[in-house]
Amino acid sequence: MQTDLKNVKLINDPLWGLIDITDYLPMIDVPQFQALGFKYQLGVTSMLFPSATHTRKQHCLGAFRRTQQLTDRWLRRGFINNKEARLLEGFALWHDIGHGPFSHVAEEVTKEFYGSDHDEHGAQIIDNLRYAAEAANLNFDELKKLFTHENQLYLAVHDKNLGTEKLDYLSRDAYYTLGETPGVEYLANHTYFIENKIVIDEKAIDQAKAIQEFYVKMYKNVYLRKNSTIAQRLVQKMMFKLVKEMSMAENDFWALTDFGLLGLFETSKNELISGYYQRFMGRGFAQECDFHTFRKICKL
């Protein structure tokens, strides 16, 4: 796609610097993507780490930038062609478009009531956004195959160990919570796509191990921190009661932003929700808890 230099659109990211979004503006300027700017990446973790208010939108843009860098390298090495490069970049941009309020905190509710997760919901959402993908000169049917994992190139973004979105969220979450970032550049520069698999050069094995160790550190100190987990369970119980009381339709729940959900909690006439909301806002968390399943928690 040729770009009018007078209309280049750049945004500045604290981790990756300037990001050129010019060719993908039609995909960015849709309500479903913009709503991600009102959904915290780490759910309720900002109750413990006040700086952790980064959003799904920021993460998607970061994953997009990391994917741009990856596709540049893979094009030079002949792993992919130009069409595949642009599809991967579009996929990275929209990969989390299916998230609900407070990100993964909501998924226990959606699985219980609707039998779906954010990946499945994202694949449904983009069916209504064909026009935006095509306006960005992407083949929508081929893009959809990345969302449904029919095309193994989706691993470039979504591989659980080496995907660009993992490298972004690990770096971004650490930056806003622990004030540090893992070094991912060397590993990213030695990640390849061969025989439909993501592989790394043997010279990058030590750094791959170091990043996995950093991931464990994040789980211990951030993702599974006791007070954060207790706060999540409190929010999940309020969600459960709210959805049940309002008989909320699946699409209505998924469409809620964090602030929309908090507004429903605040104005609820349900005494249990109202009481839990006051505890949540006052950080009145239990100091200890037993880790029951979500279903058992919501019946307590």
pLDDT in tens, 1-24: 555 666 899 999 999 999 999 999
- Give the model confidence (pLDDT) of 235-259 as tens digits: 999 999 999 999 999 999 999 999 9
CA distance 169 to 171: 5
Residue 103 φ then ψ, to 5°? 55, -125
Q: What is the pLDDT of residues 34-58, one digit of tens each?
A: 999 999 999 999 999 999 999 999 9
Two tokens at 12? 């500045």
pLDDT of residue 183: 87
> pTM for the whole thing?
0.92
Fold of 5-223: Hypothetical protein af1432 (1.10.3210)
CA distance 7 to 190: 34
List residues bridging with 13 in a β-sheet.
Answer: 17
Would you say residue 300 has pLDDT above 50? no
Closest CA to 40 of 102, 92, 120: 102
> Is-contact 28 21, C-beta < 8 A?
yes
Q: Which amino acid is at 174?
A: A
- For 131-154, what is the mean pLDDT? 98
Domain residue ranges in the chain: 5-223, 226-297
Q: What pLDDT, on the 0 to 100 scale, is given for residue 298?
A: 52
